Structure 1
Amino acid sequence: MGYVNDTDSAKDLTQETFIKIWQQLPKFRNESSIGTWIFRIASNTCLRQIQKENKMPKSELPIEINADTSEVNIENDLQFLYQCISELQELDRIIISLELEDINQKEIAKIVGISEGNVRVKIHRIKEKLTLKFKNNGH
């Protein structure tokens, strides 16, 4: 969701990711943890899709919501959060997506190839950016 900000696209990308993992599993060399390897495949799959979409015109479909106002507000806030995340630079998107998935910061550092201290600083700065965007947009 942090990459594409669309539930259906996220599901499609998840399925595509697992197909690639299954196909590439014999090539896994244990040079990193399996989780790191899987995340790299997922990240690359999402980034390729974003590149494809940026070359094609986007169509805006009306969203039909059948829920009470509090659920609508939560859904709107969540959608806005994913939109904000999708606008971050690639490394920041990866880091905050992993953080939201409750991956510990030591593992995040291994996945993205930076120090654990740098991960902490980046998470703090990313949260500040997202908070500022929320405040500026009345969320």
Structure 2
Amino acid sequence: MTKELQFKDLYTAHYSKVIRLCLGYTNGREEKAKDLTQEVFIKIWQNLDKFRSEANISTWIYRITVNTCLQELRKKKVVPLEIDLASHEIISSNNDEIRYKKMYECINKLSADNKTIIFLELEEVPQAEIAEITGYSHQAIRTRIHRIKEQLSKCVTDGGI
């Protein structure tokens, strides 16, 4: 398979996951998320020949995405990550909307590492793959996810992490 065809297949298979992850890091700002997504795929194109298949290709793509987004946050010194839920159609009632907004406000209070972990968990990335992406052990990820969920639950009900 040529590099062009391989890239096209990767782009088609992973674009929606990459843009959703970028939206989480850009306060839901679609234009900024699109810019970061484009940057991610440029990096994928530039480094596709260097991919050694030691990890799953999706793990490699998530790692590039997370690093690109975190690099942008450091460059802009943007600390809070807020998510605009107005564009999500999963909200069925006003009460649900308030709960979702509160949950994402609580996610915004997490450390950068924990935000990455929970965003990947929300994307239903397998925990073993999250471990590869973040560099933590699988057991550490399992523990962190459990603790993050407890923190978020407490935050949503009590108002603080």
TM category (shorter chain) comes to 0.7 to 0.9
The amino acid across from 1:105 in the alignment is Q
* Matched residue SS, 1:2: helix
**How far did residue 122 of structure 1 move?**
0.7
1:4-23 mapped onto 2 (5 Å cutoff)? 4-8=26-30, 9-23=32-46
Aligned residues of 1:3 and 1:86 also touching (Cα < 8 A): no
1:1-139 mapped onto 2 (5 Å cutoff)? 1-8=23-30, 9-54=32-77, 71=93, 73-137=95-159
Aligned residues of 2:63 and 2:134 also touching (Cα < 8 A): no
Q: Distance in 1 between matches of 2:52 and 2:106?
A: 35
**How far did residue 46 of structure 1 move?**
0.6
Aligned residues of 1:4 and 1:10 also touching (Cα < 8 A): yes
So what's the TM-score if we normalise by structure 1? 0.72
Q: Residue deviations 1:18-73, cap 9 Å, x none?
A: 22212221222223221221111101111122123327xxxxxxxx99x9x95555
Instruction: Say which structure, 1 or 2, has more relative contact order (CA 8 Å, 6+ apart).
Output: 1
CA distance 1:72–1:22, shift in 2 (3 Å) = farther
Aligned residues of 1:5 and 1:86 also touching (Cα < 8 A): no
So what's the TM-score if we normalise by structure 2? 0.64
Aligned residues of 1:2 and 1:85 also touching (Cα < 8 A): no
Unaligned 5+ runs, structure 1: 56-63
The amino acid across from 1:111 in the alignment is I
> How many matched pairs?
130
Unaligned 5+ runs, structure 2: 1-22, 79-85
Q: Distance in 2 between matches of 1:78 and 1:100?
A: 13
CA distance 1:133–1:29, shift in 2 (3 Å) = same
TM-align CA RMSD: 3.2
**How far did residue 97 of structure 1 move?**
1.3
Aligned residues of 2:128 and 2:138 also touching (Cα < 8 A): yes
Instruction: Name the % identity.
Output: 48
